[in-house]
Structure 1
């Protein structure tokens, strides 16, 4: 029998691991998954932030736990996978969201900063996807992987935004998503990417302070920045059976900025 819309979006009985989940976009996506019924494992570097985030989710009636780990370190990623599988059992949904940004002119961009971004924003996604995929999703022939890219990965930026390494890393995430979606489709694992536009966050605060909210919002046809609800719908689509026939795709959630710029 064909399922109803509410049944397709229902995540009861599912388990989700969300990296960079203690604040901002990661916490917003954790709320979306938990509100749909999933159990949540949060991770980020700082235990204090995670404890607060988990308490916030639990106050909303969501089964939420946390593990402190640095997704820029391979040993931490492997430990995160081990502990999550031990404590939660199989992982149905993996949200690769942990990331960093760096602003500097290309001619003066520190190589160590370039390496840091590639390591966290790309290599970390690969290692954790490999660990969870090989140990939990492939054996069961079921999984949903959501990679957080950015509209910065679709092309260049205005001259005032000097984020070459960030743009490059997010472009890599988009093609990582396409390639992995093709390879793991045979295991009934979908792999999709979300490309947010400008959302106010700790990572984007310096840009917001320098350029101002009004100037940034003016680039959007909707004339506003992203808010605390704007990623919930796409997260739930990619994580649930409502999106079971979508893989290797990216979707911009940017108020239309990428349409104007031709991304």
Structure 2
């Protein structure tokens, strides 16, 4: 057994949505460093192009900006990928949003925004790229779909009034299982990662109290980029080829042990 090959993702074509910052950036950096050809997408053209330019100095990273909260944005990204690649080995559905407000003030527009980006776009983009995932797949080396959920999506009840976010991530977990069941026959695995607390724009308010929050996490710290890149690379490599339909918490034991 060649352990180096066991965890290799070299030369795989990887798509990371929401890839210009936060957890998406962590995953994209990991795949680029591991030798994959990585496409990153985000709504911000400037942020997407800036990160792709930086990562291209050490590997292969291409920016394809798109607003995946809309059907048109999903079609745009799928079309751009179709022009460039016949096969896609790994799709990381990471693009997401949150909205917090008291129940009596929670806006319908905010609820719809979160659900559209966090759930609807995951389904639509997976559907649109399914032919290229199938083309890259084989029994020994399946194509992979990795959806980014959250420990808020069923591992615990969130502290904050972020109703749409927790509901959307619970939906992502179940959607991942459902897709896994029916894509298995095409040699495509589907798994979800459920992160705990990682530094990002979305967690900026919480991270202002990092020491206090870290004290409540069994492993005593918040997540680091290597933690997120590591689980994604595992799922995309030969090491993760027999894992499908799983929802994997990566939270230092925060929700699962505390």
TM-score normalised according to structure 1 size? 0.92
Asked if 1:186 is matched to 2:185, the reply is yes
What SS does the aligned partner of 1:257 have? Answer: coil
1:1-263 correspondence runs (5 A): 3-59=1-57, 61-133=58-130, 135-141=131-137, 142-157=142-157, 159=159, 161-209=160-208, 212-261=209-258
Between 1:47-56 and 1:64-73, the stretch displaced more is: 47-56
Aligned-residue CA RMSD in angstroms?
1.5
How many Å separate the matches in 1 of 2:153 and 2:109? 20
- Structure 1, residues 115-171: CA drift from partner, whole Å, max 9, x if none? 1100000000000000111x2122454410000000000244354x11111100000
Q: Do 1:122 and 1:173's aligned partners in 2 also have CA atoms closer than 8 Å?
A: yes
What SS does the aligned partner of 1:151 have? Answer: coil
How many Å separate the matches in 2 of 1:4 and 1:154? 37
- Report deviation, 1:12: 2.2
Q: How many aligned residue pairs are there?
A: 254
Between 1:161-170 and 1:140-149, the stretch displaced more is: 140-149
How many Å separate the matches in 1 of 2:103 and 2:114? 14
- Unaligned ranges ≥5, structure 1: none
- Report deviation, 1:108: 2.2
Q: Do 1:42 and 1:65's aligned partners in 2 also have CA atoms closer than 8 Å?
A: yes
- Report deviation, 1:197: 0.4
- Report deviation, 1:85: 2.0
How many Å separate the matches in 1 of 2:182 and 2:49? 36
What SS does the aligned partner of 1:153 have? Answer: coil
How many Å separate the matches in 1 of 2:109 and 2:71? 17
Q: Do 1:85 and 1:91's aligned partners in 2 also have CA atoms closer than 8 Å?
A: no
Which ranges of 4 or more aligned residues in structure 1 deviate by more than 6 Å? none
Q: Do 1:156 and 1:167's aligned partners in 2 also have CA atoms closer than 8 Å?
A: no
Q: Do 2:68 and 2:74's aligned partners in 1 also have CA atoms closer than 8 Å?
A: yes
